Amino acid sequence: MTERTADIGVVGLGTMGSNLALNIAQKGFTVAVHNRTIAKSFALRDDNPGIGDNVVPADSLEDFVASLKTPRLVLFMVPAGKIVDDEMATIAPLLSAGDVMIDAGNADFNDTIRRSKAVEETGLQFVGMGVSGGELGARHGPSIMVGGAEATYGLLSPILTRIAAQYEGEPCVAWLGPDGAGHFVKTIHNGIEYADMQMIAEIYGIMRDGIGLEPKAMAAIFEDWNTRGLSSYLIEITAVTLAETDPETGKPMVDVIVDEAGQKGTGRWAVIEAQKLGVGATTIEAAVSARGVSSRRSERADAGALYAGIATQAGGFAGDAAGLAELEEALETAKIIAYAQGYATMAAASQEFSWNLPLAEIARIWRAGCIIRSRFLDDIARAYDSGETVVNLLQATDFVARVSAGQGALRRIVARAMLAGIPVPALSAALAYLDDYRRPRGTTNLTQAQRDLFGAHTFHRLDKDGVFHHQWPAV
Ligand SMILES: NC(=O)C1=CN([C@@H]2O[C@H](COP(=O)(O)OP(=O)(O)OC[C@H]3O[C@@H](n4cnc5c(N)ncnc54)[C@H](OP(=O)(O)O)[C@@H]3O)[C@@H](O)[C@H]2O)C=CC1
Ligand SMILES: O=C(CO)[C@H](O)[C@H](O)COP(=O)(O)O
């Protein structure tokens, strides 16, 4: 019989699971590991001298479970969906009341709510936990967003606070609320990640097609931008990727990569949930759609030929200091709007599901470890901590000033790109949202009139209370 020595067990030793297990082991905890391809469990121990001493591989699920201290903590790091359900169903019968199953992969928070309910009915406990930071984050310190019972988090926190990224001595992990709260926040994190990446790609498009810069020159610009307001991991890796040379051809690496973006679903989940909550997360929507359009490469080539006759104007973009400063300001302004949309979605979900999401804390645990880490998140935390009521970040004093100052640059960049035929779906969505959001008298009065004409859907009047229907002329 295996001795019960392991503090936690990890199931799934792919990119994330293996690195998270090594991170746990390096922090002095004993970690049992199990993987569909069993040899990987033993390799994880044997290929990592020193740290491997804290890794306990198992060649059967029974041995894996038997090696865990009670209450047993079993962390799953496998692809989202049915695989999670299948793995949980296989292990659950081997566990006892009070043991905890943790889904640490990306998950649709609706699945997490369903799983929480089903698992907790059996006397076991369930935690849905978002982990961000990719391979290196998992190995050296990710940002961790936890959902589940607060008392259950208490069982995990001694390990999670040690393995999480640290920002000025504070661990980037927090309990965010019950059942699906952690996975919802991770989903919005990824939605913001999509929007941020898309807007950077659009600026790259302007630099390439509007100014005619070479990737290495762009790399230097992004490196420079990374020293100021835009400073972030995503801007840093943009500079790194643009500077890279393909060893086979000697060309810039980005020039040999096919322009078809992959996606595993978290951006789409973010858009679906924003829509369900009635929040306009238009920059995230634009980013998800742009990846979809990008994947139809041959169709785009055909359309390009069909529309070759369209005359566009030279955008008038300039690669001089003033031109680049305008691009930088436009990106910074659009970024504020994208984050405001992500935060508005979380605020709406918090209300809808009575989660009481700690929005300032979420910004704080995103400052290190995760893909969208940046100094800008400090500004968001400050806005929520300031004591003023923040209905939407676009109404917070600091951001009103910054967006007011930067919107002119965003407007000019979007207008020039449109005239030049350079697609800027996320940047333009940010600007359109701002203009829509700041307009006291909109145009949906006409929409309401149309709905009432064709479907007697009724409308409200500006001059008196009540619900009205008008006898429109028959059409
Ligand atoms: N990669 C990343 O940057 C990030 C990923 N995530 C999330 O983490 C989770 C894991 O991702 P990642 O580590 O990248 O994935 P990988 O593809 O690298 O690893 C998948 C793991 O799941 C196992 N697995 C796959 N299919 C099955 C199955 N049918 N039954 C049992 N086990 C199976 C694999 O086992 P085997 O070795 O036998 O193939 C492997 O251990 C996902 O939810 C992902 O969205 C979250 C944050 C960042
Ligand atoms: O969760 C993550 C980072 O936070 C993963 O890297 C995620 O897989 C990225 O999403 P996609 O593959 O759809 O671009």
Domains in the chain, CATH or no CATH each: 8-179 (3.40.50.720), 187-437 (1.10.1040.10), 441-475 (1.20.5.320)
Residues 6+ apart with CB under 8 A from 387: none
Reply yes or no on whether the pLDDT at 360 is more than 70.
yes
Asked whether 371 and 132 are in contact (CB, 8 A), the reply is yes
Q: Look up the ipTM and state it.
A: 0.98
DSSP 320: S
309-323, pLDDT tens digit by residue? 998 888 889 999 999
DSSP 395: G
Tell me: is residue 106 an annotated ligand-binding position: yes
What is the reported pLDDT for 315?
A: 80
Nearest to 192, CA basis, from 340, 50, 291, 303: 340
Reply yes or no on whether the pLDDT at 165 is more than 90.
yes
Average pLDDT value for the chain? 97
189-234, pLDDT tens digit by residue? 999 999 999 999 999 999 999 999 999 999 999 999 999 999 999 9
Single pTM value for the model: 0.97
E strand or H helix that includes residue 176 = strand 173-177
Ligand 2 atom with the shortest distance to the CA of 264: 13
Tell me: is residue 189 an annotated ligand-binding position: yes
Share of the chain above pLDDT 70, in %: 100
401-417, pLDDT tens digit by residue? 999 999 999 999 999 99
Ligand 1 atom with the shortest distance to the CA of 16: 13
444-457, pLDDT tens digit by residue? 999 999 999 999 99
Segment 73-79 mean pLDDT: 98
Tell me: is residue 124 an annotated ligand-binding position: no
Give ligand 1 pocket residues (Cβ under 6 A): 12-17, 35-37, 40, 77-80, 83, 87, 105-106, 131-132, 134, 264
| CA of residue 80 to ligand 1 center, whole Å | 8
Reply yes or no on whether the pLDDT at 351 is more than 90.
yes
Ligand 2 atom with the shortest distance to the CA of 261: 14
Secondary structure (3-state) at 147: strand
Query: Strand pairing partners for 75?
Result: 10, 102
Ligand 1 pocket: which of 15, 91, 183, 197 to mutate (most atoms within 8 A of CB): 15
Asked whether 379 and 395 are in contact (CB, 8 A), the reply is no
